[in-house]
Structure 1
Amino acid sequence: MPGHFLGLQGANTLVTGQYQLSTRIIDDLVANAATGVIHGPAGVGKTFAVEANLERLRDVGDHRVSTCSLAFPSKPTMLRVAAELVTALTGTPPPTSRSRFHLISHLVGLLAGPPRLVVVDEAQRLNGECIELLRHLHDHSDTRFALLYVGGDGCWEVLSREPMLRSRIFRRLPFRPLPKDKVPDLMRSYHPIYADTDTELLLTIDDTYAHGSMRDWAVFTHTAAQLCTDAGLPGVTAEVVTNANVLLGAGLH
Structure 2
Amino acid sequence: MSRATPAPSRARSARAPATTPAPAPRRAPSAVPRHYLSLPHAVTVELTVLELVKDGLKKAVAEQAFMCVYGDAGVGKTFALDTVLATGVVPARQARLGRLVPPPAPTPAALRSHLADALNLTDAHSENPGVFDTALRKTLAARDHLLVVDEAQRLDAACFEYLRYLVDDPDTTVAIVLAAGEHGLAVLRRQKMLASRTAVWLKVPALTPDEVRWAIPRFHPLWQHSDDSALEHLDTRLCHGNFRRWAQATHHALRLLRRPRADHSFSGRAVLEDLLDARLLPHTDAR
Superposition TM-score, scaled by structure 2 size? 0.79
Question: Is the counterpart of residue 67 in structure 1 residue 107 in structure 2?
Answer: no
Q: Relative to 1, partners in 2 of residues 1:115 and 1:94: Cα closer, same or farther, differing over 3 Å?
A: closer
Instruction: Tell me, in whole angstroms, the C-alpha distance in 1 between the residues paired with 2:116 and 2:268.
Output: 52
Instruction: Confirm whether residue 80 of structure 1 aligns to residue 110 of structure 2.
Output: yes
Gaps of 5+ in 1: none
> What is residue 115 of structure 1 aligned with on the other side?
144
Residue number among 110, 117, 129 corresponding to 2:158 in the alignment? 129
Match of 1:52 in 2: 83
CA distance change for structure 1 residues 56 and 31 in 2, over 3 Å: closer, same or farther? farther
How far has the Cα of 1:42 moved from its partner? Answer: 0.6
Structure 2 runs not aligned, ≥5 long: 1-31
Aligned to 2:254: 225
Give, as a single letter, the amino acid of the residue that structure 2 aligns with 1:84. Answer: H
Q: Secondary structure at the match of 1:112?
A: helix
Report the 3-state secondary structure (helix = DSSP H, G, I; strand = E; otherwise coil) of the residue aligned with 2:119.
helix
Distance 1:245 1:13 in 2: 23
- Between stretches 124-133 and 79-88, larger displacement belongs to 79-88
* CA distance in 1: counterparts of 2:106 and 2:66, whole angstroms: 21
Contact 2:238 2:277 in 1 (8 A): no
Of 264, 268, 272, which residue of structure 2 is paired with 1:241?
A: 272
Gap change, CA 1:48 and 1:93, over 3 Å in 2? farther
State the one-letter code of the partner of 1:72.
P
Confirm or deny that 1:169 pairs with 2:198: yes
Q: Which residue in the other structure is 1:15 paired with?
A: 46
Code of the aligned partner of 1:83 = S
Write the distance in 2 (CA, Å) between the matches of 1:225 and 1:17.
28
Residues of 1 paired with 2:257 and 2:58: CA distance? Answer: 40
Q: Which amino acid aligns with 1:133?
A: Y
Query: Matched residues in 2 for 1:93 and 1:17: separation?
Result: 41
Structure having greater relative contact order (Cα 8 Å, sep ≥ 6): 2
How many Å apart are 1:29 and its aligned residue?
1.7
On the 8 A contact 1:228/1:236 being kept in 2, the answer is no
Q: Does 1:214 align with 2:243?
A: yes
Higher mean Cα deviation, 116-125 or 88-97? 88-97
Alignment RMSD? 2.3
State the percentage of identical aligned residues: 31
Report how far residue 31 of structure 1 moved. 2.9
Residue 36 of structure 1 and its aligned partner are, at CA, apart by 0.6
Equivalent position SS for 1:217 = helix
Contact 2:50 2:84 in 1 (8 A): no
**Deviation (angstroms), 1:215:** 0.2
AA aligned opposite 2:112: A
Rounded to whole Å, the distance in 2 between the matches of 1:24 and 1:234 is: 41
TM-score normalized with structure 1 length: 0.89
* 1:142 corresponding residue in structure 2: 171
